[in-house]
Structure 1
Amino acid sequence: MAKTALITGASGGIGYELAKVFATHAYDLILVARSTDKLQQIQSELTQSHPGQVHIFSYDLSQPASPLALFEQVQQQGLTVDVLVNNAGFGDYGPLAECDWDKHSALLQLNMVTLTHLTRLFLPPMLERGSGKVLNVASTAAFQPGPFMAAYYASKAYVMSFTEALAHEVDGTGITATVLCPGPTRGTDFQARAKLGEVEFFKQLKLPDAAAVAQFGYDALERNQVVAVHGVLNRLLVFTNRIMPRRTVTNAVGRLQAPEGK
């Protein structure tokens, strides 16, 4: 019997590429995103190229009621979630004092609260079965403060800390938890949604593509790796961040991300 992976933020970028990777490995899929049209296109594509079932659910997961509604719909349809992939998330750029609070509130809800709530909902059935996996998508932003993207960086630090703690809690139960930490990635709408186009540093980066990041994340999940940082350079930067004074790292990130005139 095929296993089933539920993937949030599956309509594009890393989430879409993860869906393709899981499909290649004969998983049935539950794909979740806001856009019904995009989900239907992906459903059609994957069902034609892979034998597994593809279920789609349209939810705005930045809404507080959506995790429970999604869980209940999955239960009502008699679907078993063997792998929970919490990929949905977004960033926002600019000084906190000038931010759009509605957008920031949605960011915090989606990146942290929804991720935690979905894990809380789908984890008990996994524990009852004695098997299951959780893959949370964080970022290399998790390893340092990020001036001018303060809430986003902090939210990803939460995701990493939460996943590491969860991995300890479920050790020996048959459940594993993995946190994927990519750097900036080509083939996603992250930079556009976060309005990073004006930051010269991000314009100059040679970025890996979302497919490579997704495959790396899947492989780390299969190895039961807890923290998976994509890319040799990113792993070097993470190591450097851990040994440098915190203030020095914060100042460096602040200079790289500062808007013109700041």
Structure 2
Amino acid sequence: MAAGTCALTFASAISAQQQQPQPAPVKEFRPGYLTGYLAAAELPNSLELVPPAPATGSAQAQADDAFNKASQTLRDTARGKLATADAQLSFPAAADAFSCAVGVAINSTETPYLYQLMRRSLTDVGLSTYRAKNTYNRTRPFVAGSQSTCTPAEEVALRKDGSYPSGHAAIGWGWALILSELSPGQSQAVLARGLSFGESRSICNVHWASDISAGRLMGAATVARLHGSSEFEADMKQAAIEIAAQRAKGKLPAHDCAEEAAALAIKAKQP
């Protein structure tokens, strides 16, 4: 009797998994990164939307330098550890960045539409920054100051990639806007996490404050454009259903949210 019950439970679990809606497979744009929702011609033009990168010696550049120095005081704290984690844009690790803010577990098994939505929007938002990035080719703070970063293994690649606007800040803010729509009851926490995600790039010494601000602008511009995609809108509806189902089941994030909150509470003394 017990064996029969066990077999029935297992079969029911398999059946439920098979019945859960799954998004259609999407090709990779490059290894590890899915093709976005937008064609290249549909991406917002960062050269027309963000102001020119601050000139060397300008008041903005001086303010950037002061902000950067203040941010470096957090490198050896729990906030610095979180900034290092925020540098990770590959999945599944990146899915956890906003799970505490949303209040549910985000993964490919239980929230497949949301998981893929985050992966695809990452591509769109990240690519939106490159017209300005490639044009201004701004030097990153760790290069300008001959210093280290949170991610030494990435420094060679980062030296070749323009600092302005910040792609990470754009992606973090884009995700924050998307997730706050999907889970409006948690919008305050989600948007705050989007801001901190961008600030992590200054703590990691790879972006100036003005890079981060310009990145957020591109994140917002791209999300606005994404709402014109019927495919994106359809995936948003499914993702909202998944979040509600996760919350109803009490599926909490996998990592320590109290620890994350304590790290985010650590602030640098800004000039």
Output the TM-score relative to the length of structure 1. Answer: 0.28
Q: Which has the higher contact order (CA 8 A, sep 6+)?
A: 2
Which of the two has greater strand per residue? 1
Which has the greater radius of gyration?
A: 2
